[in-house]
């Protein structure tokens, strides 16, 4: 249980908040990922029974899965939107990547999530690190972290499922794989750290995916030289 919680970046407290109240004391001491409990849906649907591993890595309650396949949900699939109150940790490296990309293409801040056609961790949406909504391209930064285990094992499988969910609704994913992580898809950039060369390679892949004209349309304006500089 502890290993699965760590790999999926969840806490036991999150699980305790989802299980049926009479079973919380049992789950608080649970060690088996295959143990079954009764769970409450975040959207207020009927309780459903499932093993711990499915709740941590699965698609959610049966009613949510059925709703995700409904015609109305299909029409919204692929739409970027602003998820207010979204709390996702952003590292200094991810911030540097955003700055470097912002010097090359226009990055808007009106969307931080994409509606999907499947349930992902119990929600019909995913939250990529950076969205280039005009191109329907998501950019993800992965590294092993201090533990050396992030984005490996089950989390690597989760990353692949996330990419598949985006591709199903017309998006493509560029993954920057640093710190010894291997390529994960056709548009992976394997590197040691985020550099200007990595940012240039991201833009090059954007052109491969969507074409020069589409990328030129969102190219960032050239910065004016600073006063007193040799170009000023």
Model confidence band, residue 27 (pLDDT cutoffs 50, 70, 90): very high
Which residues 6+ apart lie within 8 Å of 85 measured at CB?
Answer: none
Q: What is the model's pTM?
A: 0.75
Helix (H, G, I), strand (E, B) or coil at 113: strand
Give the pLDDT mean for 69-98: 80
How many residues in total does the chain contain?
232
More confident residue, 152 or 137: 137
Model confidence band, residue 73 (pLDDT cutoffs 50, 70, 90): low
More confident residue, 225 or 32: 32
Quick check: 76 pLDDT over 70?
yes
Quick check: 226 pLDDT over 60?
no
Model confidence band, residue 230 (pLDDT cutoffs 50, 70, 90): very low
68-72, 109-113, 145-149, 194-198: which has the minimum mean pLDDT?
68-72
- Main-chain phi, psi angles of 55, to 5 degrees: -70, -35
Distances (CA, A) of 111 to 121, 125, 130, 211, 218: 20, 12, 9, 23, 16
More confident residue, 126 or 67: 126
- Main-chain phi, psi angles of 107, to 5 degrees: -110, 120
């Amino acid at each position: 249980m502890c290993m699965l919680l760590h790999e999926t970046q969840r806490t036991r407290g999150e699980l305790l908040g989802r299980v049926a109240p009479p079973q919380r004391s049992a789950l608080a001491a649970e060690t088996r990922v295959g143990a079954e409990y009764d769970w409450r849906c975040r959207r207020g649907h009927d309780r459903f029974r499932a093993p711990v591993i499915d709740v941590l890595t699965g698609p959610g309650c049966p009613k949510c899965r059925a709703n995700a396949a409904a015609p109305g949900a299909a029409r919204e699939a692929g739409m970027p939107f602003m998820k207010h109150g979204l709390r996702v940790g952003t590292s200094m490296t991810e911030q540097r990547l955003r700055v470097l990309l912002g010097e090359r293409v226009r990055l808007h801040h009106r969307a931080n999530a994409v509606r999907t056609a499947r349930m992902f961790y119990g929600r019909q949406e995913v939250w990529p690190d950076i969205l280039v909504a005009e191109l329907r391209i998501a950019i993800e930064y992965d590294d092993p972290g201090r533990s050396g285990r992030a984005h490996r094992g089950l989390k690597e499988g989760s990353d692949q499922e996330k990419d598949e969910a985006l591709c199903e609704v017309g998006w493509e994913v560029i993954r920057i794989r640093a710190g010894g992580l291997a390529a994960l898809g056709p548009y992976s950039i394997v590197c040691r750290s985020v550099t200007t060369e990595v940012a240039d390679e991201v833009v090059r892949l954007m052109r491969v995916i969507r074409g020069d004209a589409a990328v030129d349309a969102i190219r960032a304006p050239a910065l004016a030289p600073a006063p007193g500089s040799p170009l000023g």
